[in-house]
Amino acid sequence: MSQPSDIIQVSNPTQTSTKSALKGGYNPSLGPIQLPTSYQAQLASTASSKRNIYDHSLSRRAPEVNLSSLSYIFNVMIQYSQKNSKGIQELEGKLNTLGYSIGPKVLELITLREGKNAKREIKLVEILQFIHTQVWRTLFGRVADELEKSSEADDEYMITDKQPLMSEFISVPKDMGQLNVNAFVAGIIEGILDVCYFQASVSAHTVETPGCPNRTVFFIKFDRDVIERENLRFHK
């Protein structure tokens, strides 16, 4: 039978103190252990070097997205959607749906950054101006180029982007020439409008001009209920 001394090792107070000093915390025999200043600095340096995106402040307004990473992810999204689509219209519908889910999150981020200055837009034109300026600036670092109302219908508006970022790294095959991948951005717009109670359908259309082959017009058609509400409240 083994003697107790064979399986129970007597601790050395000096070794215990040294180990505890390195680990910090609380030692029952010594009380609270304070880490050496040099060791604390080393830990702080290691922690700061391992910061990730979750450590960044949501209030930062400077764009930090790597364009190469963005283009790669967006290409994968398009390829995945294309495999499950039977035509251009269905593919654009899937991209629109993906963007729609992001719209409310973009609105929430902008509202958080605005803080006390955040304002809930209740007029149709004002929510469109908000998208034309603040949403575009948050997503693409600049405002959209144009905001227009249709001369033929009171429920149709257009936001124009002459050089849409999402088209910059996408090469559309000739047999899919009518495809506009900015249907994804159209979905973001639609999601924001919907959550703000301005229900509308939004689609993206390529309207080329000299020097702007990817010029995109986001066609916004509001539900009749939205127009009637607008007329009752502000155009009596």
All structural domains of the chain with their residue ranges: 67-234
| φ and ψ at residue 230, rounded to 5 degrees | -60, -45
Query: What CA–CA distance (Å, rounded) separates 201 from 188?
Result: 11
Q: Which of 37-46, 99-108, 212-221 has the lowest average pLDDT?
A: 37-46
Average of per-residue pLDDT across 112-126: 90
SS3 labels along 36-61: CHHHHHHHHHHHHHCCCHHHCCCCCC
Higher-scoring residue by pLDDT: 193, 169: 193
Q: May I ask the CATH class of domain 67-234?
A: alpha beta
pLDDT at 2 over 80: no
Where b means 16+ CB within 10 Å and e means fewer, 16-46 reads eeeebeeeeeeeeeeeeeebeeeeeeeeeee
Q: What is the pLDDT of residues 69-100, one digit of tens each?
A: 888 999 999 999 988 888 899 999 999 999 99
Look up the pTM and report it: 0.74
Pairing between β-strand 216-222 and β-strand 156-161 as defined by DSSP bridges: antiparallel
In the chain, the percentage of residues whose pLDDT exceeds 70 is 73
pLDDT of the residue at 17? 45
